[in-house]
Amino acid sequence: MARALITGITGQDGLYLAELLLGKGYEVFGLIRGQNNPKLDLVRRTVPDVTLLTGDLTDLSSLLRAMEVAKPDEVYNLGAISFVAYSWENAMLTSDVTGKGVLNMLEAVRLYAGDDLSKVRFYQASSSEMFGKVQEVPQRESTLLWPRSPYGVAKVFGHYMTINYRESYGLHASSGILFNHESPRRGPEFVTRKVSQAVARIKLGLQDELVMGNLDAKRDWGFAGDYVDAMWRMLQQPEGDDYVVATGETHSIGELLDVAFSAVGIEDWSGIVKQDPRFMRPAEVDLLIGDPAKAREVLGWTPQVGFRELVTMMVENDLVEQRALAGK
Ligand code: GDP
């Protein structure tokens, strides 16, 4: 039975990946951080067959201990401080966790594997935020990186460190440059979930306005459930490599609002949506659109869920959830 260790098991991707790997017959271990982690119950409920180990990406010895218990064939490093807006306010912490945490995990893999580095394969969750002020449209694996936030800078460090371990030690290490990927499990701080929750609450009469930031930014949004399959496929290749994972389509925040409101029968949201500088960022990533050709050709990966279907799925899920919360 293959064994996998996932950092970031409490997040959206950690849960989808754990389900995917359990379905394939893997023994799955998840790294969980801190005392009384508020997401512990969610993980236990969603993926009860995952063995949870305590550890923190900033604590190398805890990672080594987790490696020794899990004895993984595959390590998926999904753990990070991942909210871009927060990363300006906590730039050092973001660098320690999202950047240096990757180095700690790579070192834990190297020290654990000893003379036989071929016994572990490594996946790094890199991000389209690394493209930042985009230098090419669409963005591909070779596009020059120009990060625009402390989060983006930290991800660039992790990306190059992963490549460096591949080139220096011959580690089977892959970096997945994933464009924004969403689902009903997305945290409410991200724009898609913020919108789907608010639209559901407005439809149910629980809220009457929605305060947003920049409506002109464009993102290439896919479904997280599709994207974890690309991660797994990367580690099944004969060699580690870097792959862009994206849909190849881009939509503005305004279009996201159009689709989300229209899912509940509201065609004109101009009187409902307000804008506030509090949700604007010191530097914005204006446009992201990925070219997933390499993932398609080498990994045989294609996204299954389109933009409209994704947003509608999220709104419908939040209608059920908000109705239950309100006791309606
Ligand atoms: P990101 O691409 O990782 O930063 O993902 P987010 O979902 O946090 O943000 C996507 C885009 O939505 C960014 O360009 C934000 O500036 C924009 N945006 C506009 N209004 C909001 C808002 O109220 N909250 C968030 N999170 N993003 C917003």
> Mean pLDDT across the chain, nearest whole number?
98
| Structure tokens, 7 | 């950092």
* 77 CA distance to ligand 1 middle (Å): 23
pLDDT for residue 328: 74
DSSP character at residue 207: -
pLDDT for residue 112: 98
CA nearest neighbour of 109 among 166, 160, 54:
166
- CB count within 10 Å of CB 167 equals 11
* 198 CA distance to ligand 1 middle (Å): 15
DSSP conformation letters of 19-85: HHHHHTT-EEEEEE-STT-TTHHHHHHH-TTSEEEE--TT-HHHHHHHHHHH--SEEEE------HH
pLDDT for residue 252: 98
Does the annotation mark 151 as catalytic?
yes
* 190 CA distance to ligand 1 middle (Å): 6
pLDDT for residue 48: 98
Q: Structurally, what CATH architecture does the domain formed by 187-219+250-288+305-326 represent? A: Alpha-Beta Complex (3.90)
**Cis-peptide into 277, omega within 30 deg:** no
Q: Which CATH number fits domain 3-181+222-245: 3.90.245.10, 3.40.50.170, 3.30.70.100, 3.40.50.720?
A: 3.40.50.720
**300-310 pLDDT tens trace:** 999 999 999 99
Does the annotation mark 129 as catalytic?
yes
Q: Is 286 in the pocket of ligand 1 (CB under 6 A)?
A: no
List of the chain residues with pLDDT < 50: none
Give me the residue label for tokens 């271990």: 29
User: Can you tell me the distance from the alpha carbon of 173 to that of 22, in angstroms, rounded to the nearest whole number?
Assistant: 22
User: Can you tell me the distance from the alpha carbon of 316 to that of 320, in angstroms, rounded to the nearest whole number?
Assistant: 7
Three state DSSP letters for 303-325: CCCCHHHHHHHHHHHHHHHHHHH
User: pTM of the predicted model, to two decimals?
Assistant: 0.98
- Cα–chain center distance at 53: 21
- Residue 190: left if φ>0, alpha if ψ -120 to 50, beta else—which one? beta
User: Can you tell me the distance from the alpha carbon of 81 to that of 74, in angstroms, rounded to the nearest whole number?
Assistant: 22
**175-208 pLDDT tens trace:** 999 999 999 999 999 999 999 999 999 999 999 9
Q: Residues 127, 149, 174, 183: which is the catalytic one? A: 127
Return the domain boundaries, the chain. Answer: 3-181+222-245, 187-219+250-288+305-326
User: Can you tell me the distance from the alpha carbon of 192 to that of 180, in angstroms, rounded to the nearest whole number?
Assistant: 10
**37-68 pLDDT tens trace:** 999 999 999 999 999 999 999 999 999 999 99
DSSP strand E in the chain: where? 3-7, 27-32, 51-54, 74-77, 121-127, 172-178, 181-182, 210-212, 218-219, 222-223, 242-245, 251-252, 273-275
CB neighbour burial string for 61-83, b if at least 16 within 10 angstroms, e if fewer: ebbbbbbeebebbbbbbbbbbbe
Amino acid at 212: M
Measured from the CA of 213, which atom of ligand 1 is nearest?
A: 20
